[in-house]
Structures are given as structure tokens and as C-alpha cells.
Structure 1
Amino acid sequence: MYLGNLITAVSLRKCFYLSAMVLIVSTLMAAIIIVKLSPLESVKCQPHAVTATLEWSTLLNNPTKALITTSENTIKMEKHDKSDRGVQQEIIQDKSSKMARQMRNKVLPLLNSILVVEPNYNVHIFYYAWYRSKEYDGVWRHWNHDYLPYWKKSDKRIYPEGSHLPPADIGANYYPTLGCYSSMNPQIIDLHMRQLKEAGIGAVIVSWTPPTSNENTDSIMPDLLDAAHRYQLKIAPHIEPYEGRNPINLMEHLRYLFSQYGSHPALYRMRRESDGTVLPVVYIYDSYVFPSSAWWELLSEHGNLTLRGTELDAIYIGLLVDAQHKNHIKKSHFDGFYTYFGINGFSYGSSWKNWKDLNKFANQNGLLFIPSLGPGYIDTRIRPWNAENTRHRRHGQYYEFAWRSAVNSGASIISVTSFNEWHEGTQIEPARPASNRDFTYLDYEPEGPEFYLNLTKWWVQQFSDKLNAASSALS
């Protein structure tokens, strides 16, 4: 009896040590995997930190009305098991076909039933005017984007180099219905503004660089403002990190911007809650690269170079990527913040699960919170080493989850990334099937080229209804 008890005790002790070893090894493996995750670069290819990807299942803890609820887990390939690839590919195709049928049978009739949606000025969308075509401008720009080198020198894999060769070969995973257009073409501008108006978008956040920069997008602003005005839209500048940008020369560039366009009726303005002043809105990309003390000098009423109460006063919106940027935004005296990246799980700011907390933080500190959502993400035609940050569209399912998360966060303004950032595959602009000798582009089939514009329109209506209901409850 005693021997039996001793054996049992020894066995239990062995089991305990074995379990402990398994736990330690598992923890180390997880740490190694996290360390090896490659950070995604910003639009200007500056690396950011990455958080672990949020699985779809974590979103299903709360009831959701999303029309398609297949989780990402159920259709993800197990790439490490080559022997199962054929079977898994069939499963993926079957799931994809099922989702497409659901979209055709359930969602598309709902989208087509909405005839007219009025522009909602609390819905913003990022717009890029940097495309040039050889036919219209005499030179290609951006459609011929370079393959970008991997910043992680430890990776010895060989990736494509050089530039793309439009019009058949472009720096994007999707191909635009309009082909390789020029952003300078007034007909293209007019069509874009009409499409945005019909989708219910109210404010177009235009990527902006000053006339002195190499990537000069200022020259197109007059045409954009005039076209936006024709369609009752508003335009706000999205200040890019152009070469040599700093808070001091930014002040001079803002002076130019407001002197040129400050009186235009299409320039987007908002009422500042603290004093009721109606001011232009300015988004500043990569604002965190400068210390909060530098921004404080411009944005605090007590700063030595303060813009407050001057002709350069505005609603300044900074970029929040990581959790520590909350403190940076607050100390800098920004009026609010946005998250830009439509990549769930890529960063603290872009992760849907954090949006309610970010909205709470904003409310507690008198700030605007503007979550940024997107239909998906894929940039492997310019960053071939960045496949792990791809977010597949799932026939609109990804976009639906993103919209629902933003609407439920309590934010009063929502931004969409993007109308036409083709390089990163975040566009809702119409795309069509296309291929060349070496590559077949992704598309929106079988839902059709206008699908994401229509899906946006549907969600803008849901968001508008919620804002109207909240306003009625307060009155």
C-alpha cells in the first residue's frame, strides 16, 4: 500500500514537471514567433511595431448582424503541411464559393434597394491624387511603382526588384476599371467625386504635399475642390511626410495651404466643441515621429509658436499607431487622432478590439477619435516580402466586420482607408478582372466592380441612422 502511494506520488511529480516543461517550451515558441513577425511599413515605407493578429473568433463573443459569419480560421491554409495542400485548396474554394453565393443571395439585393444616400460629413475617406499616365501626362507615376527592398537585412530570400511596366504590369494586386488613369484628368476627378457622393461619403481626405516637394500633389487641389463642390462634398488635406518636413516648415506650408484654399466653400470645416469656433480640418500622417514637445509649441495655447487663435488655427488630427501614442497625442495638444491602417491586428490602433477603449480615452480627454477601416489589405506587388500582413476581403466579410466594429465603438466620425490606394489593395474604387503573361490580378467578382462602393453606401446609411437616433435621444 505504501509502495503504491509512493509510485503514485512519483508519477504525479513527473506529470507536474512534464507539464511545466511543456508550458515553458510553448511560451518560448510563442515568443519566438512574435519576435519573427515582420513589421509593416507605413505608406512612406517606415517600419512600425506589429501586434499579434486578432482572430475572427474573438469578434464573435458578442452577437453580430454581419451577413456572413464564416471565421477566418476555417478557411486558412495550413502552409506547413504540404501533403494537405490539395485538399485544403478545395476547402478554401468551397468556402469562398459559399460566401459568394451568400453575398449574391442576401447582401446584393439589400445594396441595390438603397436608391439615394445623402453625404454624411462624419464619414471620411482617404484619397490619393498621385497617379500619372503616359497618355495624359507624358510620364508614368505610381502605376510603375518600384518593388521596395526589405528593410529586414537578416532575411536572405530573393525578392523581385526593379519597376513595374504599365499599363499591363502595375504596382498593385488589383486592376482599376478605369485603367491606368491620370489623377490630373478633370474627367477622372469628376467621376471620382460623383462615385463618392453616390456612396454617401461626405469628406474626402486628400494626400497633400507642398509645391516644393518631389511628390507635388498641390497642383491638383483647385480641380479637386471645384469637383467636390459640384457634388456637395468637402475636402481636407492629409499632410504626408514629405522630405524635410518638420513642425517649423509645416507652419509655413499650412500658411500657403490656407492662403490658397482657405476661402473655398468645399474646404472641410468643423465646429470645435470647446469654444464653438468653425475651423478647417487637417490630418497629419506620421505625426508621432516628432516629439510631443515640438507639437506643443504649435498646438498649445501656451506654446511659443502657437497656431491657436491665429489664421492657422484648425482641427489638427494626429496619427495613433501604438498604445503609447495616446500620451503623445494628449501632450502634443492635437484635437483628435485617427488610426489610418485598415489592417486588423497590425497595430494597437488598427485592431478593432481596441476601438471602444480608444473612444473612451478620447471622450475622457476632450479629443476626437476617428477609427480607420478598410475592405482588406494586400501590397505584395510593391512589398513582395509582406504577405503575412495581407487581409483577404472574403467577398466583403472583412469590410463588414470592420464597419460594425467602428459603428459599435461609439465614434462620431469614421474614416475609410481608402478610395484609391491601389498599391496597398485598400481601395473601394471599382476594379475589373485583368491579367498579363506573368500575373493575374485580383478582382471583386462575382459581386461586380461597384460592389465596395455599394457596400460602403449601405454602411454609411447604418451609421447615419445610428447618429440620428443618438441625436434625437439627446434632444
Structure 2
Amino acid sequence: MPALRRCYAPCRRRATLPVLAAAGAVSALALLVYTWAGCPDCAPSVARPEPRVLTSPGSRPPPRPPTERATDAPLAVNHNVHVFYYAWYGSVAVDGEWRHWDHPYLPNWRREDKRMYPTSAHEPPGDISSNYYPALGCYSSRDPAIIRAHMQQLKDSGVGTLVVSWYPPGMADPEGSPPDAVLPELLDAAHAHGLKVAVHVEPYRGRSPASLAEQVRYLVLQYGTHPALLRMARGPRSLPVLYVYDSYLLPAAAWRELLSPRGNLSLRGTPFDAVFLALLVDVRHKYEVKQAHFDGFYTYFASDGFTYGSTWKNWRGLGKFARQHDLLFVPSVGPGYVDTQVRPWNAGSTRHRQRGRYYGAAWRSALAARARIISITSFNEWHEGTQIEPAVPRPNYLDYEPEGALFYLNLTRSWVREFSRK
């Protein structure tokens, strides 16, 4: 997760540049606006002049990334467009305490970096662990109104499936609360909006093929008949879908015990069989995925070049490999990446949004790879700045201006429409 930067100086998104039009003046005035290098949304790592066109009334507006509004032709949700969703946020009003919005700064894992970085926790609602500020405020993931709002936003964007971060009952990440407790509400709300839900199995304490077999049994028995649970055709059967985060932490031989028809713990051909997707980080993982008998792989990270799997130029080859070996390839596109409000030492992983251009390049790479399923990182991973959920302008935070809070939902809608035509 890259570190967040605060923009303490005026930048192009907030500057007011009056244009004085006189008789006989040209209809458009090209100005060079110097952007400040400290703002990830506004500039690369060094300041440089950037041409910008300001138009006078009646002139043709400058080109912008394509967006669609609610007045456009209806767009059916596409259940082959998945988005990673996090139900780990808590508020004082609903939960009695802040959860995740107050996430502390994490220790620097780069031993060669001897610089000093913040170590304290954040103090919501004014100071939160994100470079962006949510339009819905520092909400609780348990709030029914928030859940309904999220489902409506996803439906409007055309995204058809939430991939919900999940720990077994009673377990959670260090900053959150058990997500299994809210999964029934998410499933019901998703169903009411025509959406599906898949599970993103986190690397919970003690995770092993044997323990995961037990958790899959729990998931199928507890939620397997819910109409919102995503199922995928695999041969004559329709199976639930499980993403397995950090799957590479265990060797292929261990996973083979669970995923091979001949494994000692095998779920294949049983009522608890599923479509299992591994996280591909390194190039060698594609061979290990095949050896382990996973059904496919996904790339997750929204930072192009951060891993082999998240590097867009590798997606055509990964797609070809998947087709040759009857595997699912699920590339993960994202609007950008910045995590310096939790990893202040990780600015090198930042990927600027470039007013939607970065997101568009990721989508085009996924389409060129002929992916049958595309995942989005993320709907609301605010710590890493990968969210497409609406954000609003606020002092010292990044935002989506001048396009507005709904920009990335609208841009997603455009790309979902393009993907659905394929």
C-alpha cells in the first residue's frame, strides 16, 4: 500500500484562474499551470509545466474521459465485473468506537530507509487514515443506510458482484470487527439490488488447507442457498466463488490436498466444492496455481508494476496462459494507488489517478487480455486510495475535482458498458 501525501499548497485542482475575454479574442486560452509535486493527483514526482485549456462561453469544451449519467440508457449490472469490498469500518455513533478510520501508521518494513515517519494513530473524523475523504463521512459498515447506499451506487455503476473481505466467525483483522457478522445483511441488500456476493478469504490466523476446508463447509451450509451468493458454472455444476488472498503463503503441494480430486482433504465433487481463485504475485505463481489445482487466479493490486501480476503489460501473456490451461484469469483494475496515511514510507508505490486516465489504461489492458471476468480494486479500500466510492473535497485531502464526487462510479459505468459489449 503506498503512502499518502498531503497537499498543503495550492494546486491545479483548487486554483482559480480567471479568463478575461475581449472583443476579437480567441475563444480558448491556453495557459501553462505549474503543478505542485507534493500532490499525487496533480503532478508527477517533480514539478513541471502542464498545458491546460480554459474556454470562454460558446467555445468547445476540452476533451474529458467518457462518463455516463443516470439519464443514459439503462445499464444492466454485469455479474462478471467484480469489485473488492471492505465491511471493516466502524463509527462512534453506531459501533461505540472508530474502526479503521483511525488506523495507525504502520512501521517501515524498508530497513535501508532510516528516515523518521509518523507512528501515531489517526483521530477521526477530522484526521482519517486515507488521502481521500468519503462523501458519506466516516461511516459504519454495519449501518443499514450505508449498506443500501453502497448497493445502489454499485447497481448504478453496472458492477454486478461484491467480493467481500472475510474472516471466519469471531475473527477479524487487528483494526476491524468480524466481517462474517455483517455478511447476512450484505447478502440481503445485494439481492434487493440485483447484485451478487463472493467471498474474499483473508489470511486469518491458522489458515491451512484443513482449516479452510472447514470454513468452506461453514460458508456453504450458512449461505449456500442465499440467492445473492455468486455461483459459477463449472461443468454440469454451479459452484460458489472464493478468492483466496495471499494464497502463495502455502506451497502448491499443500493446496493440492484440498483442491485436487485425489487430495486427502479434497472438496472436489462434494457438496462443498467451489471455484477457488489464487492471488498471483510472482511469475512463478502461474505454474504453482496449476500444480495446486486452483481454478484460476487474480492480480488484486492496483499499482501497475508493483508485482508481476499487477503489471498491465503482462496481462496478455497471463490471459493466454490461463486459456491454454483451462484456468480463469481475473485481472484487477484500479483507479490509482496512494497509501501514505498508513504507510508514509511507501510513496514510491503511488500511482496518480490522472483524472481517470490511469483507470482507463488498466481497463483497456484487461480488455486486451480477453478476460472473461474483471475485478476492480476497490470499492472502498480507503487506506490505499484505490476506492471508486465517492469522495468529496476537504482541506488537506485529495479529491476527484473538477469532475465531481461521482466521477469514478460514472467512469466505471462507461467501462462496464464497453466490457458488456465484448
TM-score (norm 2): 0.85
Q: 1:176 to 1:97 in 2, by over 3 A?
A: farther
Q: Give the structure 2 partner of residue 456 of structure 1.
A: 412
Cα deviation digits, residues 381-421 of structure 1 (max 9, x gap): 00000001100001001001111111111111100000000
Q: Give the structure 1 partner of residue 154 of structure 2.
A: 196
Instruction: Measure, in 2, the Cα distance between the counterparts of 1:156 and 1:449.
Output: 38
Instruction: Measure, in 2, the Cα distance between the counterparts of 1:89 and 1:157.
Output: 23
The alignment status of 1:338 with 2:295, answered yes or no, reads no
Q: Give the structure 1 partner of residue 315 of structure 2.
A: 355
Instruction: Measure, in 2, the Cα distance between the counterparts of 1:444 and 1:256.
Output: 41
Instruction: Measure, in 2, the Cα distance between the counterparts of 1:292 and 1:95.
Output: 52
Instruction: Measure, in 2, the Cα distance between the counterparts of 1:104 and 1:242.
Output: 51
Measured after TM superposition, the shift of residue 110 of structure 1 is: 4.8
Measured after TM superposition, the shift of residue 114 of structure 1 is: 2.9
Measured after TM superposition, the shift of residue 304 of structure 1 is: 1.0
**1:114–1:458 Cα contact (<8 Å) kept:** no
Q: 1:163 to 1:190 in 2, by over 3 A?
A: same
* Secondary structure in 2 matching 1:106: coil
The alignment status of 1:411 with 2:371, answered yes or no, reads yes
The alignment status of 1:114 with 2:72, answered yes or no, reads yes
**1:96–1:394 Cα contact (<8 Å) kept:** no
Cα deviation digits, residues 33-85 of structure 1 (max 9, x gap): xxxxxxx68xxxxxxxxxxxxxxxxxxxxxxxxxxxxxxxx99969xxxxxx9
The alignment status of 1:320 with 2:289, answered yes or no, reads no
Q: Give the structure 1 partner of residue 30 of structure 2.
A: none
Instruction: Measure, in 2, the Cα distance between the counterparts of 1:250 and 1:311.
Output: 15
**1:237–1:282 Cα contact (<8 Å) kept:** yes
Q: 1:377 to 1:97 in 2, by over 3 A?
A: farther
Instruction: Measure, in 2, the Cα distance between the counterparts of 1:310 and 1:110.
Output: 45
Instruction: Measure, in 1, the Cα distance between the counterparts of 2:415 and 2:129.
Output: 29
Aligned counterparts, 1:161-180, within 5 A: 161-180=119-138
**2:35–2:48 Cα contact (<8 Å) kept:** no
Q: 1:418 to 1:214 in 2, by over 3 A?
A: closer
Instruction: Measure, in 2, the Cα distance between the counterparts of 1:377 and 1:145.
Output: 17
Structure 1 runs, 4 residues or longer, greater than 4 Å off: 74-78, 94-98
Query: For this pair of structures, how many residues does the alignment match?
Result: 378
Measured after TM superposition, the shift of residue 111 of structure 1 is: 2.1
Instruction: Measure, in 2, the Cα distance between the counterparts of 1:374 and 1:147.
Output: 23
The alignment status of 1:213 with 2:171, answered yes or no, reads yes
Instruction: Measure, in 1, the Cα distance between the counterparts of 2:215 and 2:53.
Output: 48
Cα deviation digits, residues 198-233 of structure 1 (max 9, x gap): 100111100001113143100000100000000110
Task: Compare CA radii of gyration and give the structure with the larger one.
Answer: 1
Measured after TM superposition, the shift of residue 310 of structure 1 is: 1.1
Give the one of 243, 249, 255 matched to 2:217.
255
Give the one of 197, 202, 208 matched to 1:240.
202
Instruction: Measure, in 2, the Cα distance between the counterparts of 1:406 and 1:264.
Output: 30
The alignment status of 1:183 with 2:168, answered yes or no, reads no
Aligned counterparts, 1:422-437, within 5 A: 422-435=382-395
Measured after TM superposition, the shift of residue 142 of structure 1 is: 0.2
Instruction: Measure, in 2, the Cα distance between the counterparts of 1:242 and 1:95.
Output: 48
Instruction: Measure, in 2, the Cα distance between the counterparts of 1:313 and 1:171.
Output: 38
Q: Which is bigger in relative contact order (C-alpha 8 A, separation at least 6)?
A: 2
2:198 maps to amino acid:
A
Q: Give the structure 1 partner of residue 381 of structure 2.
A: 421
**2:101–2:124 Cα contact (<8 Å) kept:** yes
Instruction: Measure, in 1, the Cα distance between the counterparts of 2:47 and 2:280.
Output: 38
Q: Give the structure 2 partner of residue 153 of structure 1.
A: 111
Cα deviation digits, residues 220-275 of structure 1 (max 9, x gap): 00100000000110000000112222221111111111111111000000001xx2
Instruction: Measure, in 2, the Cα distance between the counterparts of 1:127 and 1:96.
Output: 37
Instruction: Measure, in 2, the Cα distance between the counterparts of 1:307 and 1:134.
Output: 42
Instruction: Measure, in 1, the Cα distance between the counterparts of 2:384 and 2:181.
Output: 24
The alignment status of 1:283 with 2:243, answered yes or no, reads yes
Instruction: Measure, in 1, the Cα distance between the counterparts of 2:351 and 2:66.
Output: 26
**RMSD of the alignment, in Å?**
2.4
Q: Higher strand proportion, which one? A: 2
The alignment status of 1:390 with 2:347, answered yes or no, reads no
Instruction: Measure, in 1, the Cα distance between the counterparts of 2:246 and 2:346.
Output: 20
Measured after TM superposition, the shift of residue 107 of structure 1 is: 3.7
Q: Give the structure 1 partner of residue 29 of structure 2.
A: none
Q: Higher helix proportion, which one? A: 1
**Structure 2: where are the runs of 5+ without partners?**
3-33
Greater shift in the superposed pair: 138-147 or 106-115: 106-115
Aligned counterparts, 1:361-380, within 5 A: 361-380=321-340
Measured after TM superposition, the shift of residue 157 of structure 1 is: 0.4
Q: Give the structure 1 partner of residue 100 of structure 2.
A: 142
TM-score (norm 1): 0.76
* Secondary structure in 2 matching 1:159: coil
Instruction: Measure, in 2, the Cα distance between the counterparts of 1:323 and 1:114.
Output: 41
Q: Give the structure 2 partner of residue 31 of structure 1.
A: none
* Secondary structure in 2 matching 1:254: helix
The alignment status of 1:227 with 2:184, answered yes or no, reads no
